[in-house]
Structure 1
Amino acid sequence: MPDLVFLRGEVITADEQNRILEAVAVKGNKIVATGTTEEIEPLIGPQTTVIDLNGKSLLPGFIDSHLHLSSYGIDKLGVSCKAPHIQSLHDILQDVREKASELPAGKWVRAWGFNETKITEQRYPTKEELDQISTEHPIIIIRACNHISVVNSKALEILSLHKDTPNPKGGIIERDREGELTGRLLENAHFQIAKGVTYTEEELSHALKLASDDYVAAGITSIHDAGCMDSDSFRLMHQAVRNGLVNVRIYAMACVMDSPELFLESMIGAGMATGVGDERFKIGPAKLFTDGSSSGPTIATRKPYTSDSENCGILYYSQEELNRRLGEAHRIGFQITAHAQGDRAIEMVLDCIEAAQQEHPRPDARPRIEHAGISEPDLLERMKQLGVVPIPNPAFFYEYGEGYVHNYGERVNQMYPMRDFMERGIIAAIGSDSPVTDYRPLFGIQAAVNRTSKQGRKIGVGQTVTVLDAIRAYTWNGAYASFDEHRKGSIEAGKLADLVILDSSILRADPARIADLCVHMTIIDGEIVYQAK
């Protein structure tokens, strides 16, 4: 007899046929039967809990294939530059000042989600403006892309950055005409200061729980964590899963933000490889960064930016170094991936994947490319040939779409090209890149279906997909990207009972209002872990 039965619903299976059924039976942590209400009702026993869906949508638990659990959680402890009342730089600085007044001297004040294009002044804060708030607290304001930050003089002092500090490879410590530090740190310069922005283990553990709770309430049952702040955060993330603080299943990329190549070397040296772990926490791909932020803009492109004829972005590694580092990870059994937004960076990663497979052929290696921003037709063809799984972020169009048009012109028609991926038979799994943008899968599905900016502009509408296709990219495709398609990602007998119930039918909803739907219930391992009040 099943423990749990769902009847009279819109069961979106996301199976190979994309079947829409009515009912599901669960025993323990597994789905044991699917079908019509009439087929499932006879299985009900005296101890079975029955949930009448009454036409609501029941879907596989959402799998976000690229986000940052610890970064999102830590952000919740800081100042949000995306708060509804933020209209100007003055508003942000006022909130930072209030936060500093609540903290003892020497404690970091962190603000996140800053976007100079969304405020009245249309500029970054200056080091001097942050110094006016406090010279006793280190202050950091992180741009929404999470690739650029501005810090005050106290932070520069703590981080041991001064006018003679050289730029790190793949990063810029910005200086004024006199060579003095402005406080702005770009790309690898920003990432390398992460280890200096300290938090207690208690704070980090609390942040991880806050993040997990938010994700579960949005219907997310599995995540592919795309990189912690540092090795301590990685360790605490694993510990939080074991201690039950984190409910979501984690496929953890072998990556930290401050020194990804050194962390990867340590993982290789420890004998780690993709797949080590269990159904709750498992080591994922080896990951490096190749270029910058799509909204920065700092991505590496083959042709100059439309907005700047002398700018083609930032690269982190030479081709030889990228091949060597990821090639070694591939050799010992890691799935390999890299952050690559611009077409030049994507081409480099494809060259790396091709070289790794030629030197050490491995069937079904499923190499990934995180973001795969500007994916031109020649690059798509190579992705198909190499069996690459791209991880696009269609939700970026809502928040950053206007800037994409400004910076990349017609290339927006090839950015995160969901339809092109599908038509070529390339399995693409969607990631939100939270906290870079909204983590809610329903928001991401709406973005993939509409590709509309916050200002209402349609961007690259030739790349829109259907609701069912977007759901599959958030479920089965995500499971495929982590070699888990036989265990989860669709509603089929024998698979894990990771499920989400919406408050109404997603297929009958206005495609432009999908994000207005609410998650009614989230189930992981057959247990209800979230229920709307």
Structure 2
Amino acid sequence: MPDIVFLHGEVITVDQQNRILEAIAVKANRIIAIGTSEEIQRLVGPETTVVDLQGKSVLPGFIDSHLHLSSYGIDKLGVSCKAPHIESLQDIFHDLHEKASGLPAGKWVRAWGFNETKITEQRYPTREELDRISMEHPIIIIRACNHISVVNSKALEILSIHNDTPDPKGGIIERNSRGELTGRLLETAHFQIAKKVAYSEEEKSHALALASADYVAAGITSIHDAGCNDADSFRVMHQAVRNGLVKVRIYAMVCTMDSPEAFLESMIAAGMTTGVGNDRFKIGPAKLFTDGSSSGPTIATRKPYTSNPEDYGILYYAQEELNRRLGEAHRKGFQITAHAQGDRAVEMVLNCIEAAMQEYPRPDARPRIEHAGVSEPDLLARMKQLGVVPIPNPAFFYEYGEGYVRNYGDRVNHMYPLRDFCENDIFAAIGSDSPVTDYRPLFGIQAAVTRKSKQGQEIGHNQTISVMEAIRAYTWNGAYASFDEHCKGSIEAGKLADLVILDGSILQATPDTIADLSVHLTMIDGDIVYRAGS
């Protein structure tokens, strides 16, 4: 007899037939039956809890296939540049000053979510402006894309960055016309500071718990973590899952923001490989970065930016090095992936995947490309041939859409091309890239269906998909991307009881109101981990 049954609902199974049923029965951590309300009612015993859904939608638990759990949690401990009251640099400076005044000297003061296009001044802050806030606290403001930051003089001192410090490979330490540091750090110059912006293990664990709570309240039951700040944060994340602080299931990419090559080498040497772990925490793909941020803009493109005919973006590796590093991971049994936003970077990753598969053939390797930002038809054909799983981010259009049009022109018609992925039978799994943009899957589904910016501009409308297609990209395709389609991603008997119940019908909602729905209940492993109002 089931422990709990849900009756009279809109059960969106996401099975092979995309059946819409009415009821589900759950025992322990598994779905044991689905069908009509009458069929499931017959299974009810004296100890069974019966829930009348009254027409609410039930979906497989959402799987966010690319986000940063620890970064989002740490951000919640700092100043949010996305807060509703932030309209200018002065608003940010005020909040930073308030934060610094409550911290001992020497403690880092962190702001996140900065976007120079969204504030009155339409520019980055300067090092001198941050110095006026405090010379006793290191201060860092991280751009929304998490690829660029601005720091004050105290931070530069701690980071040992001076006027004569050379740019790291794949990054820029910005200087003015007099050769003086501006405080702005781009790409690897930004990533290299991650391990020096220190937080205690207690703070990291608390941050992870905060992030997990937000994610389960949004209906997310599984995440593919796209990289921690450093190796210690990876350990703390695993420990937080074991201790029950983190409720979401984690498929953890082997990647750190600082020195990802060294971390990958150490994991290979330790005998780790994709799939090690259990259904709560499992080692995922080996990941490297190949280019920059789509909104920065710093992505590597085959043609120059529409906004700047001299700019082709930033590349982190030569083809040979990328092939060698990810090729070795593939040889040792890892699923491989890379951050690739521009079409030049996507092409390089495809070259790498092709070389690895030819040298070390392996059935069903499921290589991934994180973001696959500008994916034109020739690149799609190669993805299909190589069995690549792209991880697009449609929610970016809402926050950064106008900038995409300005920087890339007509290429927006091939950015995160979900329609092309569907029509070419390429299993694309959606990720939010939180905290870069909104983590809510309902928001991401609406963005995939409408491709509208915050101002209402349609960005590449030819790539919109249906609600059902978007739901599949957030559920079954996400399970496929982590080799888990046999146990989750759809509502079928025998699969894990990871479910999300909405407060209404997603299939009856108009495209522009999908994100107005809210999550009524989230179940992970048969346990109710979130209930609205409780």
Q: Same fold (TM over 0.5)?
A: yes
Q: Counterpart in 1 of 2:424?
A: 424
SS of residue matched to 2:246: coil
Q: Counterpart in 2 of 1:131?
A: 131
Q: Counterpart in 1 of 2:397?
A: 397
Shift of 1:410: 0.3
SS of residue matched to 2:468: helix
- What is the alpha-carbon distance in structure 1 between the residues aligned to residue 166 and residue 195 of structure 2? 18
- What is the alpha-carbon distance in structure 1 between the residues aligned to residue 114 and residue 16 of structure 2? 41
- What is the alpha-carbon distance in structure 2 between the residues aligned to residue 50 and residue 433 of structure 1? 37
- What is the alpha-carbon distance in structure 1 between the residues aligned to residue 307 and residue 5 of structure 2? 56
Which structure 2 residues correspond to residues 303-452 of structure 1 after superposition, within 5 A?
Answer: 303-452=303-452
Q: Counterpart in 2 of 1:41?
A: 41
Q: Deviations over 1:170-196 (max 9, x none)?
A: 000001112111100000000001111
SS of residue matched to 1:43: coil
SS of residue matched to 2:523: strand
Is residue 7 of structure 1 aligned with residue 2 of structure 2? Answer: no
TM-score, normalised with respect to structure 1: 1.00
- What is the alpha-carbon distance in structure 1 between the residues aligned to residue 152 and residue 17 of structure 2? 56
- What is the alpha-carbon distance in structure 2 between the residues aligned to residue 195 and residue 61 of structure 1? 33
- What is the alpha-carbon distance in structure 1 between the residues aligned to residue 404 and residue 95 of structure 2? 29
Shift of 1:490: 0.2
- What is the alpha-carbon distance in structure 2 between the residues aligned to residue 255 and residue 87 of structure 1? 34
**Matched letter for residue 212 of structure 2:** S
**Could you tell me the percent identity over the aligned residues?**
83
SS of residue matched to 2:42: helix
Q: Deviations over 1:310-366 (max 9, x none)?
A: 000000000000000000000010000000000000000000000000000001000
- What is the alpha-carbon distance in structure 2 between the residues aligned to residue 315 and residue 355 of structure 1? 19
Q: Counterpart in 2 of 1:462?
A: 462
**Matched letter for residue 473 of structure 1:** A
Q: Counterpart in 1 of 2:528?
A: 528
Ranges in structure 1 where 5+ consecutive residues have no aligned partner: none
Shift of 1:126: 0.2
**Matched letter for residue 28 of structure 2:** G
SS of residue matched to 1:338: strand
Q: Counterpart in 2 of 1:145?
A: 145
- What is the alpha-carbon distance in structure 2 between the residues aligned to residue 413 and residue 150 of structure 1? 32
Taking only aligned residues, the RMSD between alpha carbons, in angstroms, comes to: 0.4
Higher mean Cα deviation, 397-406 or 170-179?
Answer: 170-179
- What is the alpha-carbon distance in structure 2 between the residues aligned to residue 329 and residue 50 of structure 1? 48
- What is the alpha-carbon distance in structure 1 between the residues aligned to residue 85 and residue 422 of structure 2? 40
Q: Counterpart in 2 of 1:288?
A: 288
Higher mean Cα deviation, 506-515 or 327-336?
Answer: 506-515
- What is the alpha-carbon distance in structure 1 between the residues aligned to residue 356 and residue 512 of structure 2? 43
- What is the alpha-carbon distance in structure 1 between the residues aligned to residue 221 and residue 528 of structure 2? 11
Q: Counterpart in 1 of 2:61?
A: 61
Shift of 1:484: 0.0
Which structure 2 residues correspond to residues 484-495 of structure 1 after superposition, within 5 A?
Answer: 484-495=484-495
Q: Counterpart in 2 of 1:52?
A: 52
Q: Deviations over 1:345-396 (max 9, x none)?
A: 0000000000000000001000000000000000000000000000000000
- What is the alpha-carbon distance in structure 2 between the residues aligned to residue 416 and residue 138 of structure 1? 37
- What is the alpha-carbon distance in structure 2 between the residues aligned to residue 162 and residue 156 of structure 1? 7
Shift of 1:209: 0.2
**Matched letter for residue 299 of structure 2:** I
Q: Counterpart in 1 of 2:97?
A: 97
Shift of 1:445: 0.2
- What is the alpha-carbon distance in structure 1 between the residues aligned to residue 276 and residue 215 of structure 2? 24
SS of residue matched to 1:93: helix
Shift of 1:123: 0.1
**Matched letter for residue 168 of structure 1:** P
- What is the alpha-carbon distance in structure 1 between the residues aligned to residue 196 and residue 528 of structure 2? 39
**Matched letter for residue 71 of structure 1:** S
- What is the alpha-carbon distance in structure 1 between the residues aligned to residue 168 and residue 119 of structure 2? 30
TM-score, normalised with respect to structure 2: 1.00
Ranges in structure 2 where 5+ consecutive residues have no aligned partner: none
SS of residue matched to 2:528: strand
SS of residue matched to 1:227: coil
Shift of 1:39: 1.1
**Matched letter for residue 218 of structure 2:** A
- What is the alpha-carbon distance in structure 1 between the residues aligned to residue 124 and residue 164 of structure 2? 23
- What is the alpha-carbon distance in structure 2 between the residues aligned to residue 167 and residue 255 of structure 1? 22
- What is the alpha-carbon distance in structure 2 between the residues aligned to residue 233 and residue 521 of structure 1? 30
4+ long deviations beyond 6 Å: none
